[in-house]
Structure 1
Amino acid sequence: MRQLSISLSLMALLQSLPAIAQVPESTSGIPSDSIQQVTAVKWMTNFPDGKFYPERLVSRAELASIMVKAFRLDKREAVTKENLTIPDVPRSYWAFNDIQTVLKTDIMKGYRGNEFFPNQKVTRAEALAIFAQAYGVFQFPDAAVNEILASHPDEKSIPAWARKAIATVATEGFLNTDAQGNISPLKPVTRGDMAYVLSKYLQRQQQQPETPEVPMIPNSPQSP
């Protein structure tokens, strides 16, 4: 019921936006309507000069902030836990609360010594895996994961820990690739990349307010 309420609110907000006759692409190749949609719901924001800068890379702190907004992680029960001690994220840090939230909810992990490395840039594999963790990773069997990813020429470069998560994102239609279908999992993720994934997730919420079912993969064993 809560998901339905959220979806209806998002639909109302998007419907209030002016219609776009032709949507040009940004310099990153990401359709401008993707950027418009995620900024309209305030999951991501423009810089003070009013520009989005889709080619800019995303840091761990920025990704934490995006995930909290998009999935309303601050409303989850785990957030009520006692604050964690993070040596490189003092209380005065701009994303302190968001970083606490993603760690408490297990959407993101810290490093040795409980450090977070908030300014470290994020790879596409990491960003997609973190997105899938918040969305809900489909528990595909390995054979199904391999089948889903087989159409991407660079699928062998996907780290083992990210394969199931990226298969989830691909199955749901949230994945952006280059013209050849490459996922480029080891490249840094850009703001444009995140805008694309989030806009597709937003559209899915409008179409299917309820939690989506795990799709069946032909000729593959069912997940236990």
Structure 2
Amino acid sequence: ADNPGNNLIRGNGKFDLNNATASNTISAVGNDINRSRISGRVEFVAAQVKPPGGGSGTFADIEGHWAKPYIEALAAKGILSGFSDGTFRPREPVNRAQFAVIINKAFSPPPIRPALNFADVRNNFWAFGDIQVAYRGGFLSGVDSRNFRPAQEITRVQALVSLASGLKLPPGDASIVSLYKDAAQIPGYAIAPIAAATKQQLVVNFPQQTQLNPNQVATRADIAAFVYQALVNKGSAQAIPSPYVVRVSQTNQP
């Protein structure tokens, strides 16, 4: 992902890009391709491009965005990057492979369990190493005993559970989740880790603190906010004032 293609791929017959193989995935790094004109397994990868000014500037499309401070802070640390056109695309979804890369850049987790070779992640896959490190470090697991599904988009609740698990956050009272108007949508397995993440101020909800949207696909902005708050929790970053960080107090705890 350090060498973006910067190609505009258009007007190539029935499909602009056709991967006819059943077992291999094409990685499209930093290329502009119409996703509706693709056939086969293609993985879109954001090009590793720092913001203008060597990391101290900003991206072209985040001015006024609620997550701008988090995005810029993580870009300055080399944890997040933008696209070759100078944008960050904060509303784009994040998939499991991309999330693994971010996890490793942010936390470099030491191994706590043996490696597991997933059937759907070949050793020549662009994020193979990052997926292995995130798995061995306890941040991510497979969707079943054999598969990781690297191209599957990660939801907000899944990202928060991953961070709570990988950081081994102390448990929070399960009743904490009743702070959220949509608490009933939180999967049963996620209640305890979401309570822990809430107590430790990892949860950032825009535009309403009390609306978790747990099963909504996490955007690049969401992941930036969650990961930055996790770094604050670890003592690896300074807190950024934000009205969207969920805080548990004596007055609002059930």
2:143 corresponds, among 86, 108, 111, to 111
Change (3 A) 1:169 1:46: same
More helix by share: 1
CA contact (8 A) 1:24 1:31 kept: no
Measured in 2, the distance between the counterparts of 1:117 and 1:169 equals 25
Deviation at 1:24, TM superposition (A): 4.5
2:51 pairs with 1:51: no
Greater Rg over alpha carbons, structure: 2
Instruction: Determine which structure has greater relative contact order: mean sequence separation of CA pairs < 8 Å that are 6+ residues apart, divided by chain length.
Output: 1
Deviation at 1:122, TM superposition (A): 0.8
The CA RMSD over aligned residues, in Å, is: 2.7
CA contact (8 A) 2:164 2:194 kept: yes
Q: Secondary structure at the match of 1:112?
A: coil
| Matching residue of 1:71 | 107
TM-score, length-normalised on structure 1? Answer: 0.72
Change (3 A) 1:186 1:42: same
Q: Deviations over 1:122-165 (max 9, x none)?
A: 1111111001112223223xxx221x222211111111111111
* AA aligned opposite 2:225: Y
Measured in 2, the distance between the counterparts of 1:203 and 1:104 equals 23
Deviation at 1:200, TM superposition (A): 2.4
CA contact (8 A) 1:137 1:164 kept: no
Change (3 A) 1:112 1:151: closer
1:25 corresponds, among 21, 40, 64, to 64
More strand by share: 2
List aligned pairs for 1:7-26, cutoff 5 A.
Answer: 17=56, 24-26=63-65
**Could you list the runs of 5+ residues in structure 2 that have no partner in the other structure?**
1-54, 240-247
Identical amino acids, percent of aligned pairs: 27
CA contact (8 A) 1:107 1:133 kept: yes
| Matching residue of 1:167 | 195
Measured in 2, the distance between the counterparts of 1:37 and 1:217 equals 27
Q: Secondary structure at the match of 1:49?
A: coil
2:187 pairs with 1:155: no
Q: Deviations over 1:164-210 (max 9, x none)?
A: 111122112221223342000011011000111122233442459xx
Deviation at 1:217, TM superposition (A): 8.4
Change (3 A) 1:95 1:37: same
* AA aligned opposite 2:200: E
Q: Secondary structure at the match of 1:114?
A: coil
Change (3 A) 1:77 1:87: closer
Q: Secondary structure at the match of 2:153?
A: coil
| Matching residue of 1:197 | 226
Matched pairs, number: 183
| Matching residue of 1:42 | 78
TM-score, length-normalised on structure 2? Answer: 0.64
CA contact (8 A) 2:157 2:186 kept: yes
